[in-house]
Amino acid sequence: MRDAFASEHYDIVASDDQVLFLTADIGFQVFDRLVADFPDRFLNMGVAEANMIGVAAGLALSGKQPWVYTIVPFLTMRAFEQIRVDVCIQNQPVKIVGVGGGLAYGTLGPTHHSLEDMAILRALPNMTVISPCDPIESRKATRAASEHPGPVYIRLGRNGEPQLHVDDYEFEIGRAVEMRSGSDATIVSTGAVTKIALDAADRLAESGIVARVLNVHTLKPIDRDALLRAARETGAIVTVEEHSIIGGLGGAVAEVLAEGGSPVPFKRFGIPDTFCHGVGGQDYHLARHGVTVEAVCEGIELLLDAG
């Protein structure tokens, strides 16, 4: 996802001289071509994330389109007040790109995990929150963010995520993508764990359960129509996310279902109300907290049996 973003962003910079890139002292190899070709529009702000957001807001007020980039927790949490006050209250077109979403920096521990970012940023008025599931969606989300008039947060993995989409699929902010059709149950996912959702749907099909997979790449604004349609047309809904189940995708979907009066059986798969201690990588932590193909399949089977 990271390289796909860098490539698409380079094209955006090349086509619009009002676009600038600000980084908090990371990403130099990834953005070497940008530095070489547009050195006056690549700004290393140092390890000073709050200041970086303030500078970006000032640039936006001057008619520029600034993009800020660094590791997710340091960008979204250390600089939260500046994002809220300098960017969102003034509705400035600052594009905020966090790398290493979820547990991508698994071995570095809870300080480098990002399990709260989507919850805190989707609470901000004017903020759009996007979590691409693969490199193709990363490119399309980057392009869509550049054309969006207000602030946008894009949550990226580190790199190496498999391609899940075909190249010509249509991306639209706020519109979920049905990646598998099905009428028995719906698996709602966001981000890189959409691969788990697709694999779970394939495994359920082997036992005769046809599951719909709904990729909610935009957490805010969320696609209420697609979710309520899934609640009407399928017998159970589960959410899968690499984020706390509090305030993230699971919380957002629960809000939609409750306010829509849906009685559909529902379960969240994600990180519970805990920090991920212990030494291990991304897959280790996901498995430890039940974000696996096996757990999702079992959860859906139990919901359908109970219904």
> Kind and range of the H or E element at 203?
helix 194-206
| 8 Å CB contact between 181 and 208 | no
Are residues 142 and 181 part of one domain? no
pLDDT digits (tens, 9 = 90+) for 257-271: 999 999 999 999 999
Q: Is residue 170 part of a domain?
A: no
pLDDT digits (tens, 9 = 90+) for 52-108: 999 999 999 999 999 999 999 999 999 999 999 999 999 999 999 999 999 999 999
Q: Using DSSP bridges, classify how beta strands 42-44 and 19-23 pair: parallel, antiparallel or unpaired.
A: parallel
Q: Is residue 67 part of a domain?
A: yes
Q: How many structural domains compose the chain?
A: 2
Are residues 141 and 6 part of one domain? yes
Are residues 6 and 116 part of one domain? yes
Q: Is the pTM of this model over 0.95?
A: yes
Query: How is 8-64 classified by DSSP, letter by letter?
Result: HHHHHHHH-TTEEEEESS--TTTTHHHHHH-GGGEEE--S-HHHHHHHHHHHHHTT-
| 8 Å CB contact between 143 and 8 | yes
| Band of residue 167 on the pLDDT scale cut at 50, 70, 90 | confident
- Asked if the model's pLDDT at residue 235 lies above 80, the reply is yes
Are residues 100 and 188 part of one domain? no
Cα separation, 238 vs 229, whole angstroms = 14
Name residue 148's amino acid.
Answer: H
Q: Is residue 166 part of a domain?
A: no
Q: Is residue 172 part of a domain?
A: no
Domain that holds residue 36: 2-155
| 8 Å CB contact between 133 and 164 | yes
pLDDT digits (tens, 9 = 90+) for 152-162: 999 999 878 99
Percent of the chain predicted with pLDDT > 70: 100
Supply the CATH number for residue 129's domain. 3.40.50.970
